Each structure stands twice: as C-alpha cells, then as structure tokens.
Structure 1
Amino acid sequence: MYGHGAAPPTRSRGMVITLRVLFPIAGFLSCGLLACLPLFRVALLRGRWVDWLLAWTSIPLSIGCLAVVGSVPEGDHRSDVALATVLLLGAVSGAYFVVFDIRHHRGLPPTGPTHPGPHAYVPPGYGYPAAQPYPATPSAQTPPPPYTPAPQQPQPPQPQPQPQPQRPAPARIDQVRAELDELSDYLRKHEDGR
C-alpha cells in the first residue's frame, strides 16, 4: 500500500551553487544568529554526532554573544570580543559548510550524460552489428585481418518485429487515486447498509 513513490529530483548545478552561496551568507550577514543553518545542513547530509553537536552548540553560543553585546556598554571591550566571536562563528560555519559541500558533491556520481567507458555496452544502431567490448589491455590487441570482400548474396527481406507498447509502471499518484476510489466505494456501500 505504501510504496517508495517517485525518486527525489536531483539538484542541478545551478541549485547546488545557489545553496552553496546562500547558507554561508545567512550565517554571516545575520551577525552569527543564523550560523546554525549551515551547520545543520552539514549534520543532515553527513549524519555524524559531532556535526549535530556543533550545530546545537552554535545556537546558545550565538545567542549568548549577542546578549553580551546588547547588555554591556558600547565602549566595553567585552562587547567587542562577543561581537567578534559571533561574526567569527558565522564565518567559520559558512566556510565549514562550503568545504564539506564541495567534497560531498565531488564524491557523488555525475547525473548528466557521460561518454561511455571502453567496456560499456552501446546498443547497436539501425542496420549495424552489435558493438563488441574492447580488449582489457592495449598489448592484447591484435592487428585486424586484411580486408577481403565477401561475395554478396541477396537476402530476402525479413519482417521487422513490431515493438510491444510498454506501459510505464504506475506512478504513486495512480496508486493513491486507486486507493481513494476503493475507499469511497467502501464508504458508499457502508452508508447504503444503514
């Protein structure tokens, strides 16, 4: 009844770069108050307890530093230290996020079209024979035999098999719609029985 549904869409390169810019800016330009945002993003992606500890620790640290800035006189050196600490927290959390995000997206396989490797199967084109994989090493290659044309014999035309129309697997919305139809039928029968 409860399937996996559709796979989440992959983010485009532009979206990744946009997030890579917005998270650090939010931490720094909010004077460190939102420094927890990039840290929580890292903790969600990585899932390590150290990252969660850093993210949760940044919240009281930034609130405490901003409380010190607001409570002491402007000329007091403690307000300078607290403001420098909260700005440094915003900058460091943003830098930590950018470094992690770059490493994280480097480790993911590319999502776009790629060139097939030397051992990849390439489906044959119309009228061409199937592709054969290349040998494993260049030293194992043998030179091709000299070309000798074979005598051509006319072949009778072969009927092309018609491809079977393939119905895609039912999407999650179709499954939900069918379940709702069943439920409404059941409720109608139940009301008629009263």
Structure 2
Amino acid sequence: MYGHGAAPPPRSAATVISLRVLFAAAGFLTCGLLACVPLFRVAVLRGKWFDWTVAWLSLPLAFGGLAVVGSLPESDHRTDFALAGVLLLGALSAAYFLVVDIRHHRQPPPFPGYIPAQPPPVAYGYPQPQPYPATQIAQPPAPHTPIPVPQPQPQPQRPAPARIDQVRAELDELSDYLRKHEGHPEDGR
C-alpha cells in the first residue's frame, strides 16, 4: 500500500531496437542539426559529467556549422568544411550513442530486492545479541582413508527481525517496572 508500486514492464527487444534506430537517425538525417539528441540520451542513461558536457557542446557546434553554411556562398571552401563537420558530428554522435546504448542494455539489471547486509538497529533497553557467522574448522583427511567423508554443514541461524527484538525489550522493561511497583498501594490504584 505504501510501497513503490509495481515495476514498469521491461521493454521488448523490438522497442529497444526501434528506439536505437530513431535516436541514431536523428543526428545524421537532419544533417547534424539534431546531433545533440542521441548525445543527450546517452547523458541521461549514464549520468556522467563527460556525457553531459559533450551533449551541450554539440549544440553550438551544430548551429555554428549550419550558420556558416547558410551565410557564406556555395563557392566558398569554408562552407564545404562546415557542412562536412556538421555531418561528421551527426555521424559520430550516432555511433557513440549506439556503442553506449548496446553496452547499457547488455548489462544485467541489478537484483531489485537486494539490500546489503547491515546490522540490526539497536533498540533501547537490553543490548541485542549479534549473530556470529558459522565457522568451519578444516580437518585433515585420515591418512588411510582414500575418499574423504563430507562433513555436515551447520545451518546458519537467521536473526529475528529488529521489530520483534524491540518489542521484546520493551516488554522486559515493562515487566521489570511492574515487579518493582507491585507491592506499593500508595499509588492509588
């Protein structure tokens, strides 16, 4: 009721491939104008400062290159270099996106319910016993025994949940208090 809700369903392989094609095509097919789109997708996926910097730097490069192409005559050699640079920016952004996205989707997702082992919280009252890990004592095999006999493994005991320990400590404190004040009728009760 108060949890995070159900996890969204994983994307199918067809959806992932379709998104890859659309993001990769956005940079190159718009002649570099939208070269920032796949780079921003990479920045959102990875969240690294380098990716965000590259994505933001691609915007002035694309607009500057297209401004040079639009403002100078076609016969000027600078327009050729500017257009080649903008197209190269679109192609490189698409290639970088494809490499990062394929690597990202190959990684197995982390186990959704994994919580690292932590000691239970200390409740007020009696100190809580800490469970000790089971230790194994290695015994050398007998000299005349050709096949070692496997030793039974002790089953590790699971510690009680912290809430139960807290309630138990509070009940112990309450019973001690009641024992101390049991024979005193001056309380008016």
TM-score, normalised to structure 2's length?
0.56
Q: Tell me the residue number matched to 1:5.
A: 5
Secondary structure at the residue paired with 1:64? Answer: helix
Specify every segment of 5 or more residues in structure 1 that has no aligned partner in the other structure, as ranges: 111-139, 141-194
Matches of 2:41 and 2:2, distance apart in 1: 28
Structure ID, larger Rg: 2
1:124-135 paired onto structure 2 within 5 Å: none
Q: Name the structure 1 match of 2:48.
A: 48
- Quote the Cα distance in structure 2 between the aligned partners of 1:30 and 1:2: 46
In structure 1, C-alpha distance between the alignment counterparts of 2:48 and 2:99, rounded to whole Å: 16
Deviation per CA, 1:126-164, whole angstroms, max 9, x where unpaired?
Answer: xxxxxxxxxxxxxx9xxxxxxxxxxxxxxxxxxxxxxxx
Q: Name the CA shift for 1:54/1:69 in 2 (closer, same or farther; >3 Å).
A: same
1:109, 1:60 → 2: CA distance? 35
Q: How many pairs does the alignment contain?
A: 113
Cα distance in 1 for residues equivalent to 2:10 and 2:43: 20
Q: Alpha carbons of 1:49 and 1:74: their partners in 2 closer, same or farther (altered >3 Å)?
A: same
Alpha-carbon distance change, 13 to 68 in structure 1, aligned in 2, over 3 angstroms: same
Partners of 2:14 and 2:31 lie apart in 1 by 26
TM-score, length-scaled by structure 1: 0.54
- 1:107 and 2:115 correspond: no
Structure 2 residue aligned with 1:95: 95
Separation (CA, whole Å) in 1 of partners of 2:10 and 2:51: 24
1:85 maps to 85
Structure 1's 5 and 69: CA in aligned 2 closer, same or farther, altered over 3 A?
same
Matched, 1:30 2:30: yes
**What residue is the counterpart of 1:15 in the other structure?**
15
Distance 2:13 2:85 in 1: 33
Report the Cα distance in structure 2 between the residues aligned to 1:87 and 1:46, rounded to whole angstroms: 25
Measured in 2, the distance between the counterparts of 1:81 and 1:108 equals 43
1:2 and 1:88 mapped to 2: Cα distance? 50
Residue 7 of structure 1: CA displacement? 1.7
Segments of 5+ residues of structure 2 without an aligned counterpart are: 111-146, 148-189
1:79 match: secondary structure: helix
Give the partner amino acid of 2:97: F
* Structure 2 residue aligned with 1:39: 39
RMSD: 2.3
